[in-house]
Amino acid sequence: MIKYIAKRVLMAIPVIWGIVTIVFILMRVFSHNPAFLLLGQHATADKVAELTRYLGLDQPIWKQYLIYLGQLARGDLGTSLFTKQPVLTEIMERMPATIELAVFSVVISSIIGVTLGVVCAVKQNSVLDRVLQVTGLTGISLPRFWLGLMLIIAAAVRLKILPVSGRFNFMNQPETITGFMLIDCVITGDWSALGSTLRYLILPSLTIAVASIGSFMRYTRSTMLEVIRQDYIRTARAKGVAESRVVSRHALKNALIPVVTVIGMELGGLFSGSVLTETIFAWPGVGQYIVNGINNTDYAVVQSGCMLVAVIAVAMNLLIDILYGYLDPRIRY
């Protein structure tokens, strides 16, 4: 098992290195010189050239790349050109918001998606099954940025029942302990702030969860249909076991193994997929931080943010591979 884990870790290293390299090249080739933004539109050419030399941007790209790799080897993610703060510190400040949004979205989508998938499998080829499948496929196909805007128009602008943007109400801000607002509200017993925080979570998490619900529903349906055709399911039914017990205790328990894998992969992907959602709802997470870095041509912010997202996604896939290798020894070979 140790050899299998070591092999998977070694395979993950070139993936992360490749992402880091691609982002570095794209930022250098297709973005403007950040010296122009730092100095403003009235800066002289001499001032721009001087700042460019000071930032080391006048050197060849290959040399800048080697310097950047050296910084990463020392654990230095760089400093933001605009805030003058270490990028690692700023990312860690925003990471709880992104994690909270991703986890809350996965919890909602997994509960709803798995439940609907079981219903579709039990009611196979019925009108309800077909309607749910079409609905799930539609949810997967909807662009998140469009869905987010439609939810804002419907729930926030027209109905005025949910807030448009932000993470909490500044008039009812919970005491910060862990950085995770929901946990902080529970720890401090501030139930009013908990309700307010949940209201701010609904729209962005629903925007992310809609596509995941359809995906989880389809996976659950397909695995449930495979399981309920097994001999032990027929044996349980022949013994007179109640259908609800057959579905919940025998079929669903075994069908959830691949579904849990999909949920884990989806959770890792949400850290990168939530970039647009965080921007639309002004959610103060890592996604919005990366978008602001792109708009400001802040090299260190974009490179470090993308690398962190890649590391999380690769780590989640690695964890799933290891878990599968533990559950099924055949996979190790």
Q: What is the DSSP string of 45-79?
A: HHHHHHHHHHTTTTS-HHHHHHHHHHHHHTT---B
Q: What is the model's pLDDT at position 329? A: 58
Q: Which two tokens stand for residue 6?
A: 């070591």
Would you state the pLDDT for residue 325?
62
Q: Indicate whether 45 and 149 sit together in one domain.
A: no
CA distances from 184 to 92, 129, 201 (A): 17, 41, 15
pTM, rounded to two decimals: 0.81
CA distance linking residue 257 with residue 264, whole number of Å: 11
Contacts for 57 with CB less than 8 Å, ≥ 6 apart: 33, 34, 35, 64
Cα(313)–Cα(308) distance, integer angstroms: 9
Q: What is the pLDDT along the chain (333 residues), one digit of tens a residue?
A: 677 677 777 877 888 888 889 888 888 888 777 877 777 777 778 888 888 888 888 888 888 888 888 888 888 888 888 888 888 888 888 888 888 888 888 888 888 988 888 888 888 888 888 888 888 888 888 888 888 888 888 888 888 888 888 887 777 777 778 888 888 888 888 788 888 888 888 889 888 888 888 888 888 888 888 887 777 777 777 777 777 777 777 777 777 777 777 777 777 767 665 778 888 888 888 888 888 888 888 888 888 888 888 888 788 777 777 776 665 555 555
Task: Output the DSSP codes for 165-218.
Answer: SSSS-GGGPPPPSSS-HHHHHHHHT-HHHHHHHHHHHHHHHHHHHHHHHHHHHH
Please indicate, yes or no, whether residues 60 and 20 belong to a single structural domain of this protein. Answer: yes
Task: Give the CA diameter of the chain.
Answer: 88
Is 6 inside a domain boundary? no
Residue 259 and residue 166 share a domain:
yes
| SS3 (DSSP) at 218 | helix
Query: Which one-letter DSSP state was computed for residue 152?
Result: I
Shared domain check, 138 and 32: no
Q: Is residue 55 part of a domain?
A: yes
- CA gap 157, 139 in Å, rounded: 22
Residue 324 tokens read as 């599968």
Which residues form the domain of 133?
96-295
Residues 52 and 167 placed together within one structural domain of the fold: no
How many structural domains compose the chain? Answer: 2
**Can you give the CATH number for the domain in which 231 is found?**
1.10.3720.10
Total count of residues recorded for the chain: 333
In-domain check, residue 178: yes
DSSP 240: T
